[in-house]
Structure formats: C-alpha cells, structure tokens
Structure 1
Amino acid sequence: MMLAALAGYVLLQLAIAYWASRKIAGDADYLVAGRRLGLFAVGISVFATWFGGETVIGSTATIATEGIAGARAEPIGYALCLILAALLVAGQLRARGYMTLADFFRDRFGPRAEVAAALVAIPTSVVWAAAQLLALASIIAVVAGLPVQLTLVGAAGLVIVYTLLGGLLGDVITDIVQSVVVLTGLVLLLVLLFMRAGGIGEGLAMIQPEQLVLVPEGESWIARLDAFAIPILGSIVAQEMIARFLGARTARIAVRGGLIAGAAYLVVGFIPLTFGLIAPHLGFDPAEGDLFLPNLARDLLPGALFVVFVGSLFSAVLSTVDSALLAVSALSTENIYARLRPEADEREKLVAARVLTVAAGLCAYAVATSGETIYGLVEIASSLGSAGLLVSLLVGLRTRFGGEASALAALAGGLATIAVAEYVFAVPGAFMLSILMAGLAYALAGLVLVRPVRA
C-alpha cells in the first residue's frame, strides 16, 4: 500500500512537470520560468527549495545525536541567509534581467570572470543535489525496505526525469503543492510526538540542558564564528535561490518574496529541531543516522498518516534537488555552452540545458555515493568556493572598484584557501579565512591592476 501511494504521488508530480513542459519554448522558460512569477510563487518556491532534505532529515538526525550544537545553522542561520539575500542581491540582479549569477560577472567584470564564476558555482550545486538525492534515497529505503545504495539509483533516475520535463516553471507549480503537504505532515508528526510524550509540557521537559548547548566544549571562537558564517553567508550566492529571484515579474517581487521565504523558514524550521531534541528520550535511536526521522514517523503514525508524512518528506527533498540540477544546467548552458557556441539560438540552448540536466544528475549521484552524511554534504556545498563569489558580488554590485583581475583573483583566492585550509590542514575557521583571503585578493588586484570597470 505504501509503495503504491508513493508511486501515485510521484506520478502526480510527473504529470504536473509534463504539463509545465508544454509551456516551455526556450531556455528562459526552462531556467527562469519566463520571468513571470508572482509574489506568492516566489516566496513559496524559495522556501520550498531551502526547506529540503538537510532541514527535514539531515539536521534532525544530527540534533538527535549531538544536540543543537551539531546543527546550529537550523533554522536561524539559513533563515538569515534568505533574508540577507533578499535585501542585498535579489532586487538588483532581477532588475538587470539576468538568467544566472554568472551573467552579473560577465557584465560587471568580463567574459573570463563569467566562465570562472560558473566553474566555481557548478560543483557547489552538484554537491547540494547529492545531499538531497541521499535524503530521497533514505525515504524510499524506509518505505520499500531496500538498501539505501539501491534506492539511490532509483532516486537519481526519478529526479532527472522530473527536472528534465518541467524546468523552473514545473518546479514552482509543484512547490506550492509540496509546501502544503510538507506543513501538513510535519504538524501531524509533531502532535503525535507530544502525545507520545504525554503532552507539550512533558515533552519539552524531557529536553536536557546539554542538548541546548550551542557551542561544543573547547570550541574556539573562530570555529564558532565559522559555523554560523557558512549557512548565513555561504549560500547567499546559491544559484538555486537566485534563479527564483530572477524568475520574478519585478525586482520588488523578488525582494519581498525572499523576505517571506526567510520568515516562513524561521517558523517551520523549528519543527524538525523539536523532533531531534525530544524523540531520543522516547526510545528512538539516534544511531540510525539519516534514517532516524523516517523511522520515527513510521513508528508514530498510522498507515494513512504515514503516507501523508512520507509524501511531505518526499516533497521537501524533490523540490530542492531539482532546483540544484537546474542551477547546474543554467550555469553550464548560459555561461559555458553559450560562450563556446555564440550562434546558438533559443531552441538549441534549450536542448543543451536539458542534456546538461541529465549530466548534472549523474554527477550528483556519483557524489552521493561518497559515504558522506546529508548534513555533511550540505556543509560542503555551502562553503565550497562561495567566498570569491560572495566578495565579488557584494563589492561589484555596490562599487566600481575592481575589474576582471579582481574578480578572478577573489575566485581563485577563496577557492584555494578553502581547499587547503579545510581539506588539507583542517584549520579552524577555514571558511571565514577564505572570505578574508578572497577580499584581500580582490583589493590587491584592484589596486595593482587598475582597468576601467563595466557599468
């Protein structure tokens, strides 16, 4: 019954994606929904994209094991990221009519900076997609009773087909349905969790003081700062979110939609946190890792309600992973393929975008088999190469200081620093150090190699 219900839900999602595919005439329709999204669509879509497998499944498992210190970014860190992105970049990028973040680098810094920005941003989205694929595979594994590595293959195939059909328009339409299902499922499970605990007061009383310690014992101040900076600053340059802003009808809608998404994330994000804090005291084993929340739901919910909750988890993950694949497709098509074939028309670029969506899905599958946890993959995605993008974007949007050399230096400096400091020497505060080095590289190149900047 469970498999049949989930299969029916998947078919509904695919039907919506197919309907949306009939409205796609060119790459702008596929990648930014023809720039016709209203306020409600932008707000719900940005929220649904951010409220993915990492929030619902990954952070719950981490908090159950380590307390809030293990996933301190949830929900405040990522909610602040959405709000800052709305205030700092959404309106200006939409007003300029871009298709991708790298388009800004082309206009402000030049074609070499455009390609470099795309090459830095693409791996981030691939890793992000891998995290969501792993979450999707975990859900299917619980429902079907199959190994995660096997269900990962099915999850990858499903997501590729889903994204291939509908593009951003199909994604936004299903986001609205998915958000309703997500909220319904989470609220149902929260009510039953408190009922199992004997009431709201009794459930909250189970939370131990050590679970609420925000900073692990012995953690340095720089490592503490880094833990908050990664979610708040690292994801401001995420193409998955920026695509929604660029698909808005107006710059004003882009800004207001981002603010709505941030507020919604802040409120709803406390529900998975509550699961992680209370459920271990009710006999649920945190050692189950990423299967902790799906197994919790299977135990607490009656069959019909479990179907609803599985649908909600499935919705949250599907919304995020296809956004990540579209991000890779957009950057690859508009900022790399279009450079190699400047004569390509809209139809050719649409075909290229869909082919590159498949390639992105296969790459994400390969990363998902690496053995990392969901939350671990998301942390990698939030910090990998984003320092140079962030520095160049914020400085470039607001000043005329620095040209192509500055952007290239910032991208190289940020990427090299995070690679060496984080993955070679495991230096505390590696992400903040990468932002500092990207900023210094940008400034030095701007002072030494002075060239006229673009408007």
Structure 2
Amino acid sequence: MNQSISWIDWLIITIYCIGLLAMAYWLARRQESREDYYVAGRNVGPWPVGLSIMATQCSTNSILGAPAFVAFAAGGGLLWLQYELAVPLAMVVLILFVMPLFRHLQLVSVYAYLEQRFDLETRLTLSGLFLFVRAFATAVTVYSIALVINLITGLGFTASVMLLGAFTVVYDVMGGIRGVIYSDVIQLLILAVMLMLVLAFLVDASGGFEQMWQSFAAERKTTLDFAHHGFGDGQTFAFWPMLLGGLFLYVSYYGCDQSQVQRQLSTRDIDATNNALLINGLLRFPLVLLYCLVGVGIAVFATGHPEFVAALPDSGNGLEYNLAVPLYMINVLPVGLVGLSLVALFAAAMSSLDSVLNSLSATTMEDFVRGFHRGRWTPHKELILSRVITALWGGVTLVMAFFVDDIATTVLEAINKIGSLANGPILAVFALGFLTHRVQGRHAIAGLLAGISVNGICWLTLPEISWLWWNVIGFAVAVNVALILSRLWPGNGNRAIRNDLYETAIRHHLREEARCNWYRRSLVLVAWFVGLLVLLLWMGLGT
C-alpha cells in the first residue's frame, strides 16, 4: 500500500512535530507543582477543554473505522449516527448532577471522591481497574496505529511505534495536562480541515454532493432503526440500545473516567466546566457527521473504482477496509496535502494517547504514590516525580505494544465491547455514592464485580444481546446487588460525615453561587437532541 511520500510531505510532518515539542517546552516553564502538571492550576478556559474532549474522541480508530463502517461493514451505513444522540443527554446529566460535586471537592483524581464517600479500598479498586484497562487499551491502540503508519510509510513496525509513541511521550512529559489540552485543540483543527478537504475531493470526483448522495447504496442511508431492540434479536445497532446504552456509556466515560474528568477539573470554575461540556455536546455531532460523510464518499468512489478496493492490503481475515481513507489520501491528494493528511492521522492518534498517559500518571500519583507516602514532598519534587511517572507509563505502553500482535486481531474487534463491560458497573458505584446513604464500600465493590461478571456472561453466552445493552445491564446489576447487600450485611461507619457531600455540592454550585442558571441552559442540549433526532428522521426518509 505504501506509496512514494515526497520530501515536502516529510518536511511538513517534521515541522509539525518540532512545533508541538516547542509548545510543550514553553508550557513546561509555567509548571511549579503537581496541580499545575495535572490540572493546569485550574485556570483553563472552556473552549480549549471542550475542544480537547472532542479531539480525544476522534481517535485514529474512529477516523478510519467510522468511514469503513459507513462504506463497507455488513449491516453498517449511517446507523452509526444514532449513537451520537446520547451525547447531549449525557452532557445534561453531567452538568446538573455530577461535575458540581467533583469541582466542589477540588479533586485531582476522580477516584479520591470514592474514599471520601466510601473508603480507601473502594478508591483503590476503581483506580486500579482504570489503570489496568486503560494501559492495556492504550498498548493495543499504539499497536494498531503503528500498523497503519507502517503500511502508509513503509518505515517498519518498530520505527512506526517510536515515531508515534515516543514523540507523544516526550511532549506529554514536558507539557503536562496544559500541553495535552492545547495540542489537542491544534490536532482537532488540523483533523477537521483535512476531513473537509478529503470530502471536497470525494464530492468533486462524484460530480457533486447530490450525485454522491444518490449514488450511495439506499440500504446504507438508514439512520434510525426502530424495527429492532437489540435485546435478543441479534441486532447490535438498533435505536434503543444505541440511545440508552450510549447514554449510560457516555455518562460513565465523561463523568467517571479519569482521562476525561481530569480535563474538566482543569477549568477555572464550575461554569467553565459546564460550558466545556456544552461545547462538546453541541459540536461533537457535526464532526462525527463529517467523517461519516467521508465514508459515504469513499463508498461511492470504491464503487466506481474497483481497483481502489483491490489495492487494500489483506490482513488474512479479509481486506483492511479501515485503511481506505489513508489509501485515498495518498493516491488522490497532491503533494503537500499528503503530508497534512498524515499529520491529521498522527494528530488523531496523539490526541488519544497523550491524555491517557497523563491520566495514568495522575491516578498513580494521587491514588497510590501520595496515598502511601507518609512524608511530605516539596511542590517541585512532586512535579519531577509526576513527570517521571508519565514517562514510565509511556514506556510501559510502548513496550506492551510489541506483545499484543498475537491477540490484536480479536482485541481490535472487541475493544469497544471492553469498555461496555465495565462502564455501567463503574457508573453504578459513583451513583450509589451520590444517591444512597446505606451503601458502603464493600457493598459497592461487590456490586461492581457482579455487574462486570454478568456482562462477561452475556459476552460469552448471549451474543444475540447487543453489547450496548451491557452498559445498562451492568449498571442495574451493580446497583441492585449493592442495595440488597446493604440490607443483608449492614455496618456502621461514618456515614453522617460522608453522605452530605453530594447534597452540599449541588446546593453550593447550582442554587447559591453559580453565575448562570444551568437548569435553564441545559435545555439547549435537550433541544439539540430533539433537533438531531428530527434531522436523522429526515435523512432516513430521504432515502
């Protein structure tokens, strides 16, 4: 697949990489403590944080996988868009009921709340689960992206890992979360511009947008599937599992996952945090629609150019349709734009890796290192140690990437399912802390393990149930098991001290001191949800 990449394209890539390193070095001069390093001194504005959150979601796997799903996947097409309907609703839940608490507590690690509400064991259990899942998933991501870089450039797998991973680790170690946020903004802008350029080329090759849309297979234009429920009918991407399962998934991911919450904790106040979530809730759908339309264009182009599909490499399990977009970029775009397109792919990968490495470091430092260190370090020593931990996690994930080749094919197919195994039960633990007084740490951990176990059984024995439902099933199982055990296995503990955390935070931020009425402003997101639903209905009827 690898075509000749000109020196101009390599020069563009080199300038981009050097520019990011220079920015990270400049930002590093402002760091004086671990809070500067992990939450940017809590003074970042809402726009950088909101765009950074969006950038993390637009990973290379999404940019390559979504167009392939729209263009080539069996049972695929524009059905993927209905998954995005859950995003604005999830943002409403986070704005009104989750982030006021975390901002009130001035957290660095989101799992620190669990110690205040439950106990240290609950905090370490959730933190350890995050470290395990995220480190493994990051290694697989590095592996898969390195394969793409190797196929495009012909550099070789090892060199591809070093080009992507080592560079990301270096600027991440220097820049901290502020470097992550601002580099994500730059990467998102580059990615959006390149996707629009690719779409423009595809539209021109099709003879105009209307002609491209008319040439797209009618069965792939379906945007909403109300005919199935996904709960035993074998239909994974039906409307209800994507809406309800997606809602639980997104609330858990954006509200209980350190890699996402950490950036939201970097804003200057709760209003800035909520505005960042509002930005994500409003702008994410247009971006996803953009790369789904690229998938439409790729499908039409492939129909008229059978040699294009034939040029895709064969993985042994079939053609690598995920490489259709970079193959099109290299073969069609002129010199210079090829370099920018490769920068866009690197940017999508880096925006996923940098935030994960920083959050792995933050969780390790806050929940384990500082938690078990009895002495007191100076702010400068904590900053140095934070950078060292980031570098160590970067090294671990890069090394792990060389050992996942035997299982990567199956893992890559199942990587989205892994999150759904645990997201619902993890959300349940936090919800039990928010909304109950009787449940204690041991009850919550038992519920967490029960929820994950039931989801695992569904995966192994009930494949006809959509994996999106696991987010709901795991949540329901975890909550009910914890509530039952709290009745059968009660205990004392300092509940009176712990259980007013949530009520105090909500009252403090939303009723007394918030500078704008977020109960009213969140209705914008509800209206956006309704508008998107109408849009998808119109698109579906237009087939």
TM-score, normalization: structure 1? 0.90
**Pair 1:115 & 2:124 matched:** yes
Structure 2: how far apart are the matches of 1:333 and 1:73?
Answer: 38
**Pair 1:53 & 2:60 matched:** yes
Deviations 1:20-77 (A, max 9, x none): 2222222111111111111222222222222222321222223322223784665445
CA contact (8 A) 1:52 1:132 kept: no
**Pair 1:233 & 2:273 matched:** no
The aligned counterpart of 1:355 is 388
Deviations 1:176-222 (A, max 9, x none): 32222122111111111100111000111122122234559987435
**Pair 1:157 & 2:166 matched:** yes
Structure 2 counterpart SS, 1:269: helix
Structure 2 counterpart SS, 1:385: helix
The aligned counterpart of 2:525 is none
CA contact (8 A) 2:55 2:188 kept: yes
Say how many residue pairs are matched.
Answer: 455
**Pair 1:38 & 2:45 matched:** yes
Structure 2: how far apart are the matches of 1:363 and 1:24?
Answer: 25
Structure 2: how far apart are the matches of 1:264 and 1:3?
Answer: 32
User: What is the identity, as a one-letter code, of the residue corresponding to 1:133?
Assistant: V
Deviations 1:108-140 (A, max 9, x none): 111111111101222332244345424642553
**Pair 1:338 & 2:389 matched:** no
Distance 1:219 1:387, change over 3 A: closer
Structure 2 counterpart SS, 1:100: coil
Structure 2: how far apart are the matches of 1:7 and 1:152?
Answer: 16
Moved more, 80-89 or 264-273: 80-89
Distance 1:64 1:181, change over 3 A: same
Structure 1 counterpart SS, 2:320: helix
The aligned counterpart of 1:268 is 287
Deviations 1:210-266 (A, max 9, x none): 223455998743554555555432223222210111111101111111110121111
Structure 2: how far apart are the matches of 1:153 and 1:441?
Answer: 46
User: What is the identity, as a one-letter code, of the residue corresponding to 1:397?
Assistant: F
CA contact (8 A) 1:32 1:247 kept: yes
Distance 1:112 1:233, change over 3 A: same
Match of 2:231 among 221, 234, 239: 221
Distance 1:432 1:288, change over 3 A: same
Deviations 1:293-336 (A, max 9, x none): 11122223211222222222222221221101112111111112
CA contact (8 A) 2:103 2:270 kept: yes
Match of 2:179 among 170, 173, 178: 170
The aligned counterpart of 2:134 is 125
Distance 1:381 1:220, change over 3 A: closer
User: What is the identity, as a one-letter code, of the residue corresponding to 2:369?
Assistant: Y
User: What is the identity, as a one-letter code, of the residue corresponding to 1:20?
Assistant: L
Match of 2:428 among 353, 371, 391: 391
Moved more, 211-220 or 141-150: 211-220
Match of 1:437 among 477, 481, 489: 477
Moved more, 281-290 or 434-443: 281-290
CA contact (8 A) 2:298 2:324 kept: no
The aligned counterpart of 1:101 is 110
Distance 1:162 1:305, change over 3 A: same
CA contact (8 A) 1:127 1:377 kept: no
Structure 1: how far apart are the matches of 2:88 and 2:459?
Answer: 25
**Pair 1:403 & 2:440 matched:** yes
Distance 1:119 1:384, change over 3 A: farther
Structure 2: how far apart are the matches of 1:16 and 1:418?
Answer: 43
Structure 2: how far apart are the matches of 1:136 and 1:204?
Answer: 30
**Pair 1:206 & 2:211 matched:** no
TM-score, normalization: structure 2? 0.76
The aligned counterpart of 1:303 is 335
Larger Rg: 2
Moved more, 117-126 or 348-357: 348-357
Structure 2: how far apart are the matches of 1:374 and 1:195?
Answer: 37
User: What is the identity, as a one-letter code, of the residue corresponding to 1:103?
Assistant: A
Structure 1 counterpart SS, 2:326: helix
CA contact (8 A) 1:3 1:144 kept: no
Match of 1:184 among 165, 187, 193: 193
User: What is the identity, as a one-letter code, of the residue corresponding to 1:289?
Assistant: Y
The aligned counterpart of 1:196 is 205
Deviations 1:127-178 (A, max 9, x none): 4434542464255335422455652343222222222111101111222322
The aligned counterpart of 2:347 is 315
Moved more, 281-290 or 223-232: 223-232
Structure 2: how far apart are the matches of 1:69 and 1:281?
Answer: 14
In the alignment, structure 2 segments of 5+ residues that lack a partner are 1-6, 303-307, 313-318, 502-543
Deviations 1:404-442 (A, max 9, x none): 223222322233333343257657244433222211122
**Pair 1:256 & 2:296 matched:** no
CA contact (8 A) 1:79 1:265 kept: no
Structure 1: how far apart are the matches of 2:136 and 2:70?
Answer: 22
Distance 1:260 1:271, change over 3 A: same
Structure 1: how far apart are the matches of 2:322 and 2:366?
Answer: 35
Deviations 1:368-398 (A, max 9, x none): 6442489646514532422222012123224
- Report % sequence identity: 20
CA contact (8 A) 1:388 1:414 kept: yes
Runs of 4+ in 1 over 6 A off after TM superposition: 216-219
Matches within 5 A, 1:7-22: 7-22=14-29
Structure 2: how far apart are the matches of 1:190 and 1:119?
Answer: 42
Structure 1 counterpart SS, 2:31: coil
Structure 1: how far apart are the matches of 2:376 and 2:14?
Answer: 38
Structure 2: how far apart are the matches of 1:422 and 1:12?
Answer: 45
Distance 1:375 1:199, change over 3 A: farther
Structure 1: how far apart are the matches of 2:412 and 2:88?
Answer: 16
